[in-house]
Amino acid sequence: AQSVAQPEDQVNVAEGNPLTVKCTYSVSGNPYLFWYVQYPNRGLQFLLKYITGDNLVKGSYGFEAEFNKSQTSFHLKKPSALVSDSALYFCASGTASKLTFGTGTRLQVTL
């Protein structure tokens, strides 16, 4: 069974500051891990994924995530937040047809 947890309902950060959105996973075997972003009244957009290989994964819009096997984490990061990054972020695990989403974290970036 695969599951992911997003411990924070909301993350607030000032523009220009680094941001982190947390995700921990519980999977058997090798995990497939993803981050998706959803802007208001829109569908989800793929940001990045970890399948295998380098633990630091770079994705769209300057986001990156680090796969940490010992801490079973896959936190999403960005060195400098923008107001336009404000959105709902979902961590997910599994194959395409058996994808399990986390509960989502709302990121609010303010001036």
Partner 1 sequence: DTEVTQTPKHLVMGMTNKKSLKCEQHMGHRAMYWYKQKAKKPPELMFVYSYEKLSINESVPSRFSPECPNSSLLNLHLHALQPEDSALYLCASSQEGSKGGELFFGEGSRLTVL
Q: Which residues bind partner 1 (CB under 8 A)?
A: 32, 34, 36, 41-46, 49, 51, 88, 90, 95-97, 99, 101-104, 106
**Residue closer to partner 1 (CB basis): 20 or 99:** 99
**Residue closer to partner 1 (CB basis): 32 or 63:** 32
- CA dihedral (3, 7, 12, 17) positive or negative: negative
In angstroms, the CA 108 to CA 100 distance is 24
Write the DSSP assignment of 55-95 as a string of letters: SEEE-GGG-EEEEETTTTEEEEEESS--GGG-EEEEEEES-
Q: What is the token pair recorded at 10?
A: 């909301």
Minimum CB separation of residue 83 from partner 1 in Å reads 20
**Residue closer to partner 1 (CB basis): 77 or 106:** 106
Minimum CB separation of residue 10 from partner 1 in Å reads 11
In angstroms, the CA 28 to CA 2 distance is 7
**Residue closer to partner 1 (CB basis): 1 or 96:** 96
